[in-house]
Amino acid sequence: MNTRIVLARRPTAWVDETCFAFEHVADPEIGPEDVLLQAVYLSLDPYLRGRMNEGPSYAPGFVLGQPIVSRVVARVIASRNARFAVGDHVWGFLDWAERVRVPRGEGLHKIDPALGRVSHAVSVLGMPGLTAWVGAIQIGQPKPGDTVYVSSAAGAVGQLAGQFAKRAGAWVVGSVGSDAKRDHLLARGGFDAVFNYKTTPPDEALRTHCPQGIDVYFDNVGGSTLEAALRHANVAARFPVCGMISAYNTDSDAGIRGLQAVLTKRITMTGFIIYDHVHQLPAYLARVAPWVRSGAIWFDEDIVQGITQAPAALVGMFQGDAMGKRLVQVAPE
């Protein structure tokens, strides 16, 4: 039997485990040209919250009663397709299930084992990494000596956004939601200062840690953090907007105050979604994979074991309990 996870109900505010249900279905059979996969890692990402709502977010919504879908790293366990051999590792947008049949192998990307760990295909060498690069470097355009502030700095994207900005010569400040994350990030390196936004008022923290003001604010959270960044921004600051997770799990919308700073300080806020930039992945890999191999860039994966833990792992991620990129391991690599 094959275990899969479906959307049982749509959340109205915070996601909880009752939004999900497990189903046990017959193992899939494959026809000509098909590929059979064993899921290895489910990728858990903040954007999944939007897909649980009714109506379109920037990705189509999940269907009630149908499987949750995300990026999944998988191993080929049977193949009638000449492009894929048993033992190959691939990633694709796949149902959350132990085993998945992929008709004609469509939409699967082979993972080059020379690049790094197979999980990296959905983390540092995949979309979270490219997201950090596009936002922190291409949109943020940090110059040596600039101050770059990154929220959700311990997250999959934030940890890399900070390190990329640091390599560009910026003074890099991160905010996180716990002292453990703060201490961990400071020990790991790549950030000049890190503060816990739950225990330090952001105005005080930004005054202390960004004495020259903020030139780039990499926004992962929106809300009052964005408001504080607007207050501390310098003239001509760049605000790549990557996420507004503070608004994802609520049905209220308090509004962002102080947006006049966009005018008075000539700030450019640029929302971006990585789907518009996937063509840049090969160039990104050519640049960043060597840094990962050499250890010039570190990357934390927070791997939860077992498909039965996936709902709790996702709920917890929205509550801030992940240290780095959260993955659910379904089977050995």
Q: Which is nearer to a second copy, 30 or 273 (CB)?
A: 273
Q: Which is nearer to a second copy, 240 or 324 (CB)?
A: 240
Which residue of 24, 87, 253, 279 would you call a contact of a second copy, by CB under 8 A? 253
Which residue of 30, 77, 186, 262 would you call a contact of a second copy, by CB under 8 A? 262
Q: Does 259 bind a second copy (CB under 8 A)?
A: yes
Which of 1-9, 88-96, 97-105, 255-263 is the region at the interface with a second copy (rule: CB under 8 A)? 255-263
The single-letter DSSP state of residue 264 is: H
How many Cβ atoms are within 10 Å of 29's Cβ, its own excluded? Answer: 9
The closest of 167, 166, 272, 178 to 219, measured between CA atoms, is: 272
Q: Are strands 69-79 and 89-95 parallel, antiparallel or unpaired?
A: antiparallel
Min dist. Cβ of residue 263 to a second copy (A): 4
The closest of 185, 121, 304, 157 to 245, measured between CA atoms, is: 157
Which residue of 50, 213, 316, 320 would you call a contact of a second copy, by CB under 8 A? 50
Per-residue interface string for the shown chain with a second copy, residues 209-248, x marking contact by CB under 8 A = -------------x---x--------------xxxx--x-
Q: Does 316 bind a second copy (CB under 8 A)?
A: no
Q: How many CA atoms lie within 13 A of 233 on its CB side?
A: 31
Which of 100-108, 154-162, 250-258, 303-311 is the region at the interface with a second copy (rule: CB under 8 A)? 250-258
Q: Do 307 and 96 contact (CB within 8 A), yes or no? A: yes
For residues 18, 244, 186, 193, the Cα torsion angle rounded to the nearest 10 degrees is -150
Q: Do 125 and 115 contact (CB within 8 A), yes or no? A: yes
Q: Does 271 bind a second copy (CB under 8 A)?
A: yes
- Euclidean distance between CA atoms 221 and 202, whole angstroms: 13
Which residue of 143, 257, 287, 293 would you call a contact of a second copy, by CB under 8 A? 257
Which residue of 57, 141, 234, 249 would you call a contact of a second copy, by CB under 8 A? 57
In the region spanning residues 58 to 97, those forming contacts with a second copy, defined by CB under 8 A, are 58
Tell me the DSSP string of 90-131.
EEEEEESBSEEEEGGGTT-EE--TTTS-GGGGGTTTSHHHHH
**Tokens describing residue 20:** 């999900």
In the region spanning residues 276 to 315, those forming contacts with a second copy, defined by CB under 8 A, are 276
Min dist. Cβ of residue 10 to a second copy (A): 17
Min dist. Cβ of residue 13 to a second copy (A): 15
Min dist. Cβ of residue 252 to a second copy (A): 9
Min dist. Cβ of residue 224 to a second copy (A): 10
Min dist. Cβ of residue 57 to a second copy (A): 6
Q: Does 153 bind a second copy (CB under 8 A)?
A: no
The closest of 119, 25, 35 to 85, measured between CA atoms, is: 35
Count Cβ neighbours within 10 Å for each residue of 187-219 and write b for 16 or more, e otherwise.
ebebbbbbbbbeeeebeebbeebbeebbbbbbb
Q: Does 268 bind a second copy (CB under 8 A)?
A: yes
Which of 113-121, 209-217, 252-260, 280-288 is the region at the interface with a second copy (rule: CB under 8 A)? 252-260
Q: Is 5 helix (H, G, I), strand (E, B) or coil?
A: strand
Residues that bind a second copy (CB under 8 A): 50, 57-58, 222, 226, 241-244, 247, 253-273, 276
